[in-house]
């Protein structure tokens, strides 16, 4: 399944766009945060970036133009309203962005994406969605980009992978697509694993998602603190393919 980075401000249009694209692609949501976008690009480059221009400020468009210069082989498709296009005309006229106006014609949007990816398509055919659309989704939460990269390489063949470098970003991703399983680091700045798990369980739709701690902390104090939260599991780093596979089989049907 092709991977799409969906970039923009979280609003009704953005959520609608994410819901539609998720039927056809593996979508990684990237809010309008330069550091987050850079981190995600360093972790795992997408096949295409789709940018919602709705409510996006000019500074972010300028940043995306720099991204395009760095990752020239990744196509970028801008989606926005015709009446707001003039604010971004300087960037759009440089030829590095494609644009689709709102209200979005879903067939037109798919046509644009498949064309940019050089894929033969038949928009009206259900074959376009492919069998991978039913793959389970796993959310990885760790403040180490290297750790996320390792886990992604181990799991991406069989699962749709979402990645977050902090607890706050993990909560943002929950609002876009609920994962089937979460691997959570304990020792993180700002929100540690305990606080992140507590916040996840406060989300009604996410409270029953199995959460497995994957951490390098193996002292009794931290283990007891984690087990008091009754997670689905507790694994020690470094993780290996066999360890992850057994944990996933146990909690995913």
The strand pairing partners of 51, in sequence order, are 7, 78
Helix (H) or strand (E) holding 161, with range, is strand 160-164
Q: Which CATH architecture has domain 3-128?
A: 3-Layer(aba) Sandwich (3.40)
Would you state the pLDDT for residue 83?
A: 63
Compute the average pLDDT of residues 188-208.
88
Cα R_g (the chain), whole angstroms: 19
Tokens 């181990």 -> residue? 154
Region 135-251: CATH code: 3.40.50.2300
Would you state the pLDDT for residue 211?
A: 96
- Chain-centre distance of CA 241, in angstroms? 22
Is residue 96 pLDDT above 60, yes or no? no
Backbone φ, ψ for residue 138 (5° rounding): -120, 130
Compute the average pLDDT of residues 154-162.
88
CA–CA separation, 157 and 228 (whole Å): 33
Helix (H) or strand (E) holding 169, with range, is helix 167-174
The overall average pLDDT reported for the chain is: 81
Residue-range domain boundaries for the chain: 3-128, 135-251
Q: How many CB atoms lie within 10 A of CB 250?
A: 12
The strand pairing partners of 100, in sequence order, are 79
Asked if 3-128 and 135-251 have one fold, the answer is yes
Confidence of residue 216 (pLDDT cuts 50, 70, 90): confident
pLDDT single digits (tens) 116-136: 877 766 555 433 443 344 678
Structure letter (DSSP) for residue 175:
T
Would you state the pLDDT for residue 213?
A: 92
pTM: 0.56
């Amino acid at each position: 399944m092709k991977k799409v980075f969906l970039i923009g401000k979280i609003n009704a249009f953005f959520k609608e766009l994410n819901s539609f694209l998720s039927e056809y692609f593996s979508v990684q949501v990237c809010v309008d945060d330069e550091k987050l976008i850079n981190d995600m690009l360093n972790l795992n480059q997408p096949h295409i970036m789709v940018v919602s221009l709705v409510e996006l400020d000019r500074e972010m468009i300028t940043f995306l133009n720099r991204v395009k210069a760095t990752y020239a082989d990744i196509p970028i498709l801008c989606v926005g309203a015709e009446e707001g296009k003039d604010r971004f005309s300087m960037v759009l006229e440089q030829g590095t962005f494609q644009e689709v106006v709102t209200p979005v014609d879903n067939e037109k949007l798919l046509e644009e994406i498949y064309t940019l990816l050089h894929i033969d398509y038949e928009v009206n055919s259900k074959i376009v969605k492919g069998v991978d659309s039913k793959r389970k989704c796993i959310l990885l939460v760790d403040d180490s980009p290297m750790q996320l990269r390792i886990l992604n390489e181990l799991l991406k063949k069989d699962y749709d992978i979402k990645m977050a470098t902090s607890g706050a970003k993990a909560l943002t991703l929950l609002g876009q697509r609920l994962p089937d399983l979460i691997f959570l680091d304990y020792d993180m700045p700002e929100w540690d694993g305990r606080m992140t798990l507590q916040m996840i369980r406060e989300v009604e739709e996410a409270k029953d998602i199995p959460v497995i701690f994957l951490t390098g902390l193996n002292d009794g104090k931290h283990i007891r603190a984690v087990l008091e939260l009754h997670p689905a599991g507790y694994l020690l780093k470094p993780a290996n393919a066999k360890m992850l596979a057994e944990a996933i089989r146990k909690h995913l049907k």
